[in-house]
């Protein structure tokens, strides 16, 4: 079950990363629309927090464990900020994040794809002979 949970997380990272690599402007425009039309969308950040906690617990004894601990803490912090953070701070962070150049989003996408590949490698699903 542990491997499938982490592989599911890697799949989410890969899908998000590929979408940011291939169509960053379309993805960000959709995120911008969603945050404007549904201000309560940040309640869903509980899922990012839960995924971060799962990564922290389940990634403790696999390869690159330090990377998974740091990534998990980042996921938890981001989720808490967007879910429970002060509205003024949340709006400043969102304004900064949603007004970047396309190349910035592509670098984020590349980072997410890299995390996905590293997690699948740590699980032994790819790169093992």
Residue 103: per-residue pLDDT:
94
**Domains in the chain: boundaries:** 2-122
10-residue stretch averages of pLDDT, the chain, 129 residues long: 94 97 95 88 91 94 94 96 91 92 95 97 86
Q: Please give the Cα distance from 44 to 53 (Å, whole number).
A: 15
pTM beyond 0.85: the answer is yes
Q: Name the percent of the chain lying above pLDDT 90.
A: 84
Residue 56: per-residue pLDDT:
96
What residues have CB less than 8 Å from 114, skipping those under 6 apart? Answer: 17
């Amino acid at each position: 079950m542990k491997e499938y949970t982490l592989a599911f997380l890697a799949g989410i990272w890969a899908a998000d990363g590929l979408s940011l690599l291939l169509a960053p402007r379309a993805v960000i425009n959709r995120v911008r629309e969603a945050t404007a039309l549904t201000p309560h969308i940040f309640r869903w950040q509980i899922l990012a927090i839960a995924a971060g906690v799962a990564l922290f617990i389940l990634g403790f004894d696999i390869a690159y464990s330090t990377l998974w601990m740091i990534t998990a803490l980042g996921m938890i912090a981001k989720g808490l900020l967007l879910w429970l953070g002060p509205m003024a701070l949340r709006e400043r962070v969102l304004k900064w994040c949603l007004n970047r150049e396309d190349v910035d989003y592509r670098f984020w996408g590349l980072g997410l794809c890299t995390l996905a590949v590293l997690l699948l490698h740590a699980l032994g699903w790819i790169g093992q002979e």
